[in-house]
Amino acid sequence: MKRLSLSVIGLYLGILAAFSQTQKLPDTAYKPRKLELEEANFVSSYYSQHGNNSAVTGGIGTEKLNDFSNTFELKLHRWDKKNRKHTYDFELGIDHYTSASSDLVDLKANSSASHADTRFYPSANLTIENEQKGSSFGGGLSTSYEFDYFSLGGTINFAQKTRNRSGEFSGKLFGYLDNVKLVYPTELRTGNQAQRGDEYGSAARNTFGASLSYSQIVNQRLQLAFLLDLIHQDGYLGLPFHRVYFTNGTEKVENLPASRLKIPVGFRANYFLGDFLVLRAYYRYYKDDWGLSAHTASLETSVKFSPFLSCTPFYRYYAQTAVEYFAGYQLHKTTDTYYTSNYDLSAFSSSFYGAGIRLTPPKGVFGVEKINMLELRYGHYSRTNGMNSDIVSLNLRFR
């Protein structure tokens, strides 16, 4: 039941990865064909959230949530007879959370089965790169499971460098087939659900999209990228345990349209001020057919105190308008066709800021040669509607 603004975790852990500073030239030398370890990464994070606009209780009430997440990634590679590099990327993620708002699916329970859950999300990807031609293609499969949600996803990706290797066009097609367990608030359950509470129906949700990007090395200091996404969703796009209270005091489960088209357009720039300072800027405009539009702007710097120690402070500003179907507690009319009191779909602005410390000692972290990188990051997120969160993460890289 964890659908409560936890996207900030992904925003934090994946914030603005830097481009490579130098362009790699094709290497036609013979390479061994056996499978070898490229790197392994372990990321652990703790996330804590507070607020008073829970969609579970109709736009009012606690949003308190704690999440402990662990992800392990393993990258292997080999070269085939045509001297193409095959990269195998395996990832396993496990999240465990406790949520005061989800616990209120049953308003009378002090502690119900909804108050905590564990999510598993493994994935596997293959990329085949032809360094001589400057091209690559690949694909992957992923799945995600928790008590009330199951998702199966697939991707196909490709990339092609320009003739002089200073630019690259890349694209990705993706699709996710989701199944939502219809866990209604206890007072709105009927039939077997009302009698025993353990027989739930389900509904499908599908997401299909394409991501396109073009990156360009302008000179030794400046690198640019242009980004475009097209995303279409259909099926059950609300959540069955989100209550809505109307002006006459009646109550229903939120009801949203069965389709949604999203179009984000973005721009990224990396500027190298020298060997010890890098600026990374990002802007994105988002628009969908539910009436929501949004602007995102962020800036991150990477300051090197030495070849082995760097600091990465960052700031991200976000502002959005509300969807057409949003209204707060007891503000919806009974004549409304669609309705939600989920404040993730309201008008608000937010700030997200923090910093990271990265260590890459030549003899390995803590003297262990196989651990060649340690990164510790902290971020604070705040919204104008009162929701706040904090996250701290640890990343260890093995080679």
The answer to the question of residue 111 being in a domain is yes
The answer to the question of residue 153 being in a domain is yes
The answer to the question of residue 230 being in a domain is yes
Question: Which of helix, strand or coil describes residue 35?
Answer: coil
Alpha-carbon distance 399 to 393, whole Å?
20
What residues contact 110, with CB distance under 8 A and at least 6 apart?
A: none
Please give the chain's pLDDT, 399 residues, in tens: 555 444 554 554 454 333 333 344 445 455 667 899 999 999 999 999 999 999 999 999 999 999 999 999 999 999 999 999 999 999 999 999 998 877 788 887 655 555 789 999 999 999 999 999 999 999 999 999 999 999 999 999 999 999 999 999 999 999 999 999 999 998 998 876 655 555 788 999 999 999 999 999 999 999 999 999 999 999 999 999 999 999 999 999 999 999 999 999 999 999 999 888 999 999 999 999 999 999 999 999 999 999 899 999 999 999 999 999 999 999 999 999 999 999 999 999 999 999 999 999 999 998 898 999 999 999 999 999 999 999 999 999 998
The answer to the question of residue 285 being in a domain is yes
- Our separate counts of H helices and E strands in the chain read 2, 19
Question: Which of helix, strand or coil describes residue 192?
Answer: helix
57 phi and psi angles, rounded to 5 deg: -110, 30
385 phi and psi angles, rounded to 5 deg: -90, 10
The answer to the question of residue 23 being in a domain is no
The answer to the question of residue 25 being in a domain is no
Domains contained in the chain, number: 1
Among 7, 34, 53, 23, residue whose Cα is nearest residue 340: 53
What's the whole-model pTM score?
0.89
What residues contact 332, with CB distance under 8 A and at least 6 apart?
A: 244, 245, 246, 247, 339, 341
C-beta of residue 28 within 8 angstroms of C-beta of residue 383:
no
Query: Looking at residue 41, which CATH number applies to its domain?
Result: 2.40.160.40
The answer to the question of residue 29 being in a domain is no
Q: Which domain holds residue 308?
A: 7-15+36-398
Question: Which of helix, strand or coil describes residue 289?
Answer: coil
